[in-house]
């Protein structure tokens, strides 16, 4: 007896239901989280004798909301359980006339004022209108693209590009590991007497904690460039990178000098002194240990000589907790001795 190709009773009905079941499965996979929850509620309802009250108590839903979902499900399937628009069927329509809208538009384009002043002008012309209505008219005109707004930027401000020709942001993968890999430079105001201001310059190597100090009457690009020459001369190792803030003294001549010497120049983001923490702490140290203990000097040269002595004490005599109570000079000697041994 050949049975190949035989159709069993009811097979035709099953074959017709299979595409519908597959379609429902695909539709359920695309449902949102809320729709899947509503479908779960309806299935629980069908599995428990279609008892709406019991279902609503079980899931803590209102009966009216549940029946709304059920009607949508019976009419549209799982897709009907998605969130529908809550926009009212009857939306408030504008009650102002076209002439009033044109009058408000005329006043706004002529004076560029807000609704509080424009409503006064409209009333002077005989219009009976409220402030809120003028605001709604302005919003309607803006949505329709009929409201021209002026450019409020100050034309007197010269907007220069922020990009500097040589300085860049320090890359995340640039990690200083040897003396000279990164030297932070900063300035500070020193005031001994009212109206007398000195500009203190500090450069600190973040690895060896070696400091170079100088002072000038002003902080300009020229004085900063001359301080850079001092830093390169006094540090007992090559300087490969310098980090500064966005001060004007670290632009122009200073930037050109770094480029000519082949020294990388990193500029800090705005309002981020914490990224220059080593030199900020150095400024405080020299303020407490030198300037506050000093009588007002008679001249800049006298102040510079005392600062040079402070630099020597700081680098060769003062123990540093961050260096294991060694001085920066001792740290550098041990560092280079170790590197020489490793190479040998």
Strand order in the sheet with 241-244: 211-216, 197-205, 183-191, 241-244, 264-267
- In DSSP notation, 124-188 reads HTT----HHHHHHHHHHHHHTT-------S-TTS----S--SS-BPPPTT----STTS-EEEEEE
pLDDT of residue 150: 62
Task: Name the band, by pLDDT with cuts 50, 70 and 90, for residue 13.
Answer: very low
DSSP H stretches of helix in 212-291: 221-234, 253-261, 277-289
Residue (of 283, 121, 320) closest to 204 by Cα position? 283
Determine the average pLDDT of the residues in 303-328: 94
Distances (CA, A) of 52 to 60, 79, 333: 12, 21, 86
Has residue 264 got a pLDDT over 90? Answer: yes
Residue-wise DSSP of 65-79? HHHHHHHHHHHHGGG
Strand partners, 203: 185, 212
Q: How confident is the model at residue 93 (pLDDT cuts 50, 70, 90)?
A: confident
141-145-148-149 Cα dihedral, nearest 10 degrees: 90
Neighbours of 188 (CB within 10 A): 19
Distance of alpha carbon 188 from alpha carbon 215, whole angstroms:
9
Residue 316: its pLDDT value, please?
94
Per-residue model confidence (pLDDT) at position 122: 92
Distance in angstroms (rounded) separating the CA atoms of residues 18 and 35: 23
3-state helix, strand, coil in the chain (%, to 5): 50, 10, 40
Q: Residue 1: pLDDT above 50?
A: no
How many other C-beta atoms lie within 10 A of the C-beta of residue 239?
A: 22
Other beta carbons within 10 angstroms of residue 204's beta carbon come to 28
**Euclidean distance between CA atoms 284 and 291, whole angstroms:** 10
Cβ atoms within 10 A of the Cβ of 330, count? 17
Provide the b/e sequence for 36-63 (b: ≥16 CB within 10 Å): eebbebbeebeeeeeeeeebbeeeebee
Q: What confidence category does residue 6 fall into, taking pLDDT thresholds of 50, 70 and 90?
A: very low
Average of pLDDT values for 185-196? 91
Q: What is the DSSP secondary structure assignment for residue 320, as one 8-state letter? A: B
- Which residues fall within 8 angstroms of residue 165, CB to CB, at 6 or more apart? 255, 259
Confidence of residue 344 (pLDDT cuts 50, 70, 90): low
pLDDT band for position 112 (50/70/90)?
Answer: confident
Over range 12-32, report the average pLDDT: 56
Q: What pLDDT is attached to residue 151?
A: 62
| Distance, C-alpha 331 to centroid of its chain | 38
Candidate from 114-123, 175-184, 207-216 with smallest mean pLDDT: 114-123
Kindly state the average pLDDT of the residues 49-75. Answer: 92
Q: What is the pLDDT of residues 142-155, one digit of tens each?
A: 888 888 766 666 66
Per-residue confidence (pLDDT) for residue 154, from 0 to 100: 60
Report pTM.
0.55
């Amino acid at each position: 007896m050949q049975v190949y190709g035989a159709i069993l009773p009811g097979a035709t009905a099953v074959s017709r239901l299979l595409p519908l079941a597959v379609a429902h499965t695909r539709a359920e996979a695309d449902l949102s989280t809320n729709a899947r929850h509503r479908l779960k509620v309806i299935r629980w309802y069908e599995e428990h004798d279609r008892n709406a009250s019991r279902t609503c108590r079980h899931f803590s839903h209102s009966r009216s909301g549940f029946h709304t979902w059920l009607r949508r499900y019976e009419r549209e399937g799982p897709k009907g359980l998605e969130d529908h628009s809550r926009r009212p069927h009857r939306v408030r329509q504008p009650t102002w006339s076209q002439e009033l809208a044109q009058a408000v538009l005329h006043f706004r384009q002529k004076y560029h004022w807000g609704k509080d002043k424009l409503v006064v002008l409209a009333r002077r012309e005989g219009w009976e209108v409220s402030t809120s209505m003028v605001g709604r008219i302005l919003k309607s005109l803006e949505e329709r693209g009929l409201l021209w707004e002026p450019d409020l930027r100050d034309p007197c401000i010269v907007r220069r590009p922020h990009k500097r020709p040589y300085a860049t942001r320090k890359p995340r993968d640039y990690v200083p590991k040897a003396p000279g890999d990164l030297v932070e430079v900063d300035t500070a105001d020193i005031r001994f007497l009212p109206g007398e201001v000195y500009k203190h310059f500090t450069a600190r190597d973040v690895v060896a904690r070696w400091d170079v100090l100088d002072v000038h009457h002003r902080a300009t690009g020229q004085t900063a460039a001359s301080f850079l020459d001092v830093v390169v001369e006094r540090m007992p190792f090559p300087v490969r990178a310098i980090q500064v803030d966005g001060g004007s003294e670290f632009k122009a001549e200073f930037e050109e000098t770094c480029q000519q010497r082949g020294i990388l120049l990193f500029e800090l983001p705005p309002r981020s002194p914490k990224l220059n923490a080593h030199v900020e702490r150095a400024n405080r140290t020299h303020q407490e240990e030198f300037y506050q203990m000093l009588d007002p000097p008679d001249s800049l040269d006298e102040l510079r000589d005392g600062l040079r002595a402070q630099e020597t004490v700081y680098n060769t005599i003062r123990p540093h907790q961050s260096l294991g109570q060694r001085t920066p000079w001792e740290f550098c000697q041990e560092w280079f001795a170790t590197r020489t041994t490793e190479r040998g």
